[in-house]
Chains A and B, each alone.
Chain A
Amino acid sequence: MSLAPAQPADGATPAAPDPRPRPAPRPLTRLLLPAVPLARVAWLRAALSVFACVDALLLTDHVLQHTRVAGFWAPGALARALHVPAPTPLLAAAALAVLVGGTLVLLVLPLAGRRAPGPAAGARRARASRAAATAAAAAYLLWLLWSTGFGYVGHDHLAVFVAEVVLATAPAAGYTDQRPSRAAGWAVRTVQLATVATYFGSAVSKWVRSGTPWGWANGAVFVWAVLRRGSPLVQWTLQVPGLLVVGQWVLLSMELLSPLVLLLRGRRLALTVAGFLAFHLVTFLALGIHFLPTVVCWLAFAPLERLPAALATARASRRAGAAVTASRPA
């Protein structure tokens, strides 16, 4: 990967270069605060902000119905500590407005760069974009507390909740800003850790509830799941309970080994992430469980900072292709 140092395209003013040799970072720093290009945080923030809108409007829109059943409001520890009230139609509409409005500002601001170029204007845009993202994230977190405050807590929102919090701490960043940043690296690494912890933690939970890991894997959880909410595609599996037990062993092994993802790079990492995404596709088709809030957090493992260059290359090759076609004699 080629990363140009300290020359932001639309980020903050670059710091003066420090001629002194730097000591090599400690292992813990390398592990938890790797320097990653700021652009990666900018893209991740934008992607998760868009997802937050999709989530609130399509996946957790039950908050709108929750506003009618205040008698069932059973807030968790965090909602109680923050004195979050039960949702009302007005509060829910206000949170949605901030979420969608903040996300639109976040997405539209970089486009304004074409009218007012230059590092100073770029820095202002990046700061405003970050402020909009933070406001949208706060509204989304409130929305999630309302979504989970009526007795059922789906564990697919752990990583995205953590992501919204840590990304708010990352510096202002432009989409083409390739300057390295440890603050950005910590945010990205923490999203990765939270994503992996979702799987590993659920294996621990199975262990705790069963007494032993094999107690869960040899049971009939998948039969139970298919009976309760299985799609027509998987009803046949009820005739082959042994196959479902094998599936339980595969899932448990995948969850227990999930931290190894943090050690992978390149093609192996891509294939492993594809494996996890395929698992979620299967559970969606089989049980209607999409796990999208966790799925979207796998983006933290992708080199998103390469997107502008990849898009530019694709555009250039399309133009070159069009030119060759035009220059051919009819």
Chain B
Amino acid sequence: MGVEQQAGDDVGRVGGVLRVLAVVLGGAVLLGGQLRDTNDWFPLGSLSQYATPRSPDGTVVALSLQGTGVDGRAVDVALSPQSVGLSRAEVESQQARIVADPALLGQLAATRTHLHPHAEPLGSLALVRTTRRLSGGSVVGTPTTTDLARWTATP
């Protein structure tokens, strides 16, 4: 580009050095974020979306919510911010906390009531894991479901 031979030296020596250092430091932190595999350093943390290898003969798991009404009938509860305040990925990353403290599911139920005041009230809310088996990269068998944690409304 022709402009490089023209004026435009509006960055002094110190400013130039600081800018170069910022790029080098930012790059180093980003690389460190990958090597340490941490999301904690956002925006320079792990770029690990879809980075985990999946075995063609392994399993595919997904979390979902299953609610029941106060009369015990099943109630569909979508696992999304619009439904309960959190996305599936957020719940998956906090799975251990929820399993250790199922009362946290009560907060999701309360958020659902706040966001959808006319929805059927919940008597319980469970965090459910669905597992599908792969063989040679293809799905085989029928999915299995497991309740990981359950919150029950206090009457």
Contact = CB atoms under 8 A, between A and B. Distances in A.
A82 interface: no
B68 interface: no
B100 interface: no
Contact of B104 (A28, A72, A202): A72
Nearest to A160: B43
Interface in B90-115: 90-94, 104, 107-108, 110-111, 114-115
Contact of A241 (B15, B19, B46, B56): B56
A205 B85 contact: no
B42 A148 contact: yes
Contact of B15 (A183, A193, A216): A183
Given A66-B85, A78-B42, A182 B11 contact: yes
Contact of A180 (B7, B40, B81): B7
Interface string A77-102: 11000000000000000000000000
B69 interface: no
A5 B42 CA distance: 40
Interface of A: 1, 3, 5-6, 15, 17-18, 22, 25, 28-30, 32-37, 62, 65-66, 68-69, 71-72, 74, 76-78, 144-145, 148, 150-158, 161-162, 171, 179-183, 185-186, 190, 193-194, 197-198, 201-202, 204-206, 208-210, 215-216, 219-221, 223-225, 227-228, 238-239, 241-242, 244-245
Interface of B: 1-4, 6-11, 15-16, 19-20, 22-23, 26-27, 30-31, 33-35, 37, 39-56, 58, 60, 62, 81-82, 84-87, 89-94, 104, 107-108, 110-111, 114-115, 132, 134, 136-139
Contacts of B46: 153, 155, 205
